[in-house]
Chains A and B, each alone.
Chain A
Amino acid sequence: MLALLLALVAMAAITTRHAAAQGPTDPPPPPEEPIYGLPFAEPPGPDTWNVTQWYGNTRFAYLMRRTFYGNGQGLHFGLDLGAPCGTEVIAIGDGIVTKIDAMEHGSGPHNLMIDHPEGYSSFYGHLLEPPRLYIGQEVHRGDVIALTGDPDLTCDSRPHLHLEIRNHWYNYAYNPVEFIDADWDSLALFGPRSSFSRDLDNPRRWVTPYDQPMTDFGGELLNNYLNAWPPDYSR
């Protein structure tokens, strides 16, 4: 009980501090160097995990820009890491649990939000079961916080972790690649091939895992291209 009380006080203090430091329209800039770790303890591989969809203007997000990702400016506003159902997820940094199963943020069937003292929040989606944590609980980098699941609820369809980095108002999402210390170019060598949609009117923009725009939830579509490559055959 005392621990819960202390955690609530700590969370309130953090929330107040963040509310004073930033508003919905001025999310903090991303860090100059990665400050967080990977959400898995095991090394990548065919038995453990791999990158399955980058953050940003991916080909899939472009095709789903008016549906899945319509509220996220047509961007894939997280990083997908494929993993067998039940894989342990670890906290990418120290923080306080602020939301559990907050379906207003999507990524069911279960999800988790952790606020970090640096001004950012990490969001873990498509979890197998409700995280066995409580609101206000303090977690540390590397703590096991959840188990991976499958948004299709089958565990053989597309089991993966959807990882987002947001501001504390949760209305902007960042590119997790900028926050997590990892050898992304080597991680890209196993799993689905990186694929970004291209605007033929500006074909150099947003075409690698590193040069993706922030997501302003509710903002206008960023990739509703007149001339896309590859084209959207279903349009």
Chain B
Amino acid sequence: MMRRLAALLLLLVLTACGVQAAGNDPPAPPPAQPAAEVAAAPSMAPAQIATVPGATPSLATATATVEPAPVLTRLTEPGCCVQPMWSPDGRMVLFIDRPDATAPTGIYGVSVEGGPVQLITERVAKTSPDGRYIVYLNESAQVVVEDLQTGEVWLIPSDRREPHFSPNSQRLVWTAETGSGAFSQRPSIVSVSEVNGQNAREVITVYGGGFVGWLDDDRMLVQGRIEESNGVLAEEALYAIDLLSGDMDQLAVSDRLRSVQPAPGGEWVFYAIAFDTDDPTRNGMWVVRADGSERHKLDVVGAAQWQDGSRLLIIPMEPGAPSHRVLRFDAETGEMEAITDPAQTPFRILSGDWQVSPTGEHIVFVSAEDLSLWVMTLPGADR
């Protein structure tokens, strides 16, 4: 049973991106075993949340408007782990660790409910969303994809660039930056292939950019400057490209585009712009519909991740505040609400290290207070 669990979770590791000097015949995942027993996992359940009448609270003073209040649960011992990830079902927090000198390095996991930390697998690899494939460098430093069901291994013609799986795990994309000089002027070729490396083709050449995300299985986001017909480089922009039709929609324009994140399902896209001196009104955080038909500028700056297909969670940057807090912006309604009240649910995230679960029910973060992993259970995830 535990062996199956370990194999399943290996298959489901989502966002990591590499492998431990892997060869073509990796050892089978070891049986999961208790690693570091976590002390009692305390929870903080805020007694009551203040409610602010009206739909648009001042972000500087907003208090929570959602009940029940989020619950915080400590999952691990201090100092064990950073860069937490989620199992695709959102029930387990995963992280790379080596608890002590006698323990193996591997992916460890702990239930979102708390409990013992378990070694899931010693194989650290970037895995496809469906868990069937892993990508790594083989012993000859070639990029390969391995089918974990059949054992087949395919060379990927990405010329030693990191490939990214499409949401349905059937395509790969990579960006090959070439040339030298100013980063904003370097040509980058974005290419795609089937998951087995077949049918590789170039999609577009941009300058100072590259692939930044999948909207869905057939549409991708690319950022950079394109060469106009007169040979002049256009201003940097964000494009949605349809791989089937070749259609390209321009979603945003600025030389200072950053932090692009498509929402699950590909209906909305988050991006930020900083230091655009040509048009300072562009500076800030934005949400745009993926066809460019609708756009919102957010009245806040901070770290943002999608909770679901249209709701964005934001940790505002408020230096000096005793606690961080969570806001939620609904792209469909244009409304912002506070999810936590610092007086009721105090927390601080270490250096922006947080992840929203795939189900949108939880946030895991590294606490700046005790360097442990904590989980925040969010209200209103299931609307």
Contacts and interface: CB of A to CB of B under 8 A. Distances in A.
Contacts of B350: 185, 208
A13 to B, nearest CB: 37
Interface in A172-228: 182-194, 196, 198, 200-204, 207-209, 226-228
Interface in A150-175: 152-159
B319 to A, nearest CB: 4
A46 B272 contact: yes
A46 B284 contact: yes
Contacts of A235: 137, 141, 160
Interface string B65-109: 000000000000001111100000000000011100000010000
A83 interface: yes
B319 A182 contact: yes
Contact of B19 (A47, A83, A153, A231): A231
Given A184-B351, A185-B350, A188-B352, A203 B98 contact: yes
Contact of B320 (A153, A183, A190): A183
Contact of B137 (A189, A203, A231): A231
A206 B332 CA distance: 41
Contacts of B21: 226-227
A43 B317 CA distance: 11
B143 interface: yes
B206 interface: no
A47 B254 CA distance: 13
Given A200-B124, A229-B96, A157 B137 contact: no
Given A46-B283, A84-B275, A158-B183, A230 B17 contact: yes
B182 A157 contact: yes
Given A204-B98, A209-B351, A233-B162, A157 B208 contact: yes
Interface residues of B, number: 64
B49 interface: no
Contacts of B17: 230-231
Interface string B101-144: 00001000000000000000000101000000000110001010
A228 B21 CA distance: 9
A209 B81 CA distance: 14
Interface string A35-49: 000000001111100
Interface in B282-326: 283-285, 301-303, 315-321, 324
A16 interface: no
A45 B301 contact: yes
Given A204-B98, A234-B160, A46 B82 contact: no
Contacts, number: 155
A203 B301 contact: no
B242 interface: no
A208 B17 CA distance: 19
Interface stretch (B1-9, B27-35, B243-251, B255-263): B255-263
A208 B67 CA distance: 34
Contacts of B234: none
A153 to B, nearest CB: 7
Nearest to B235: A156
B274 interface: yes
Interface residues of A, number: 51
B178 interface: no
B93 to A, nearest CB: 16
A185 B277 CA distance: 27
Given A190-B301, A233-B162, A200 B141 contact: no
Contacts of A182: 319
Give the residue among A153, A155, A184, A185 with the most B Cβ atoms within 10 A: A185
B90 to A, nearest CB: 21
A121 interface: no
B374 to A, nearest CB: 14
B381 interface: no
Contacts of A193: 259, 303, 352
A203 B280 CA distance: 41
Contacts of A46: 272-275, 283-285, 301
Given A46-B273, A82-B275, A208-B351, A152 B181 contact: yes
Given A157-B185, A231-B137, 14 more contacts: A152-B182, A154-B185, A156-B184, A156-B256, A183-B320, A185-B368, A186-B321, A190-B317, A204-B98, A207-B83, A208-B353, A226-B21, A227-B105, A229-B16
Interface of A: 43-47, 50, 54, 82-85, 152-159, 182-194, 196, 198, 200-204, 207-209, 226-231, 233-235
Interface of B: 16-21, 79-83, 96-98, 105, 124, 126, 136-137, 141, 143, 158, 160-162, 181-185, 208, 236, 255-256, 258-259, 272-275, 277, 280, 283-285, 301-303, 315-321, 324, 348-353, 366, 368
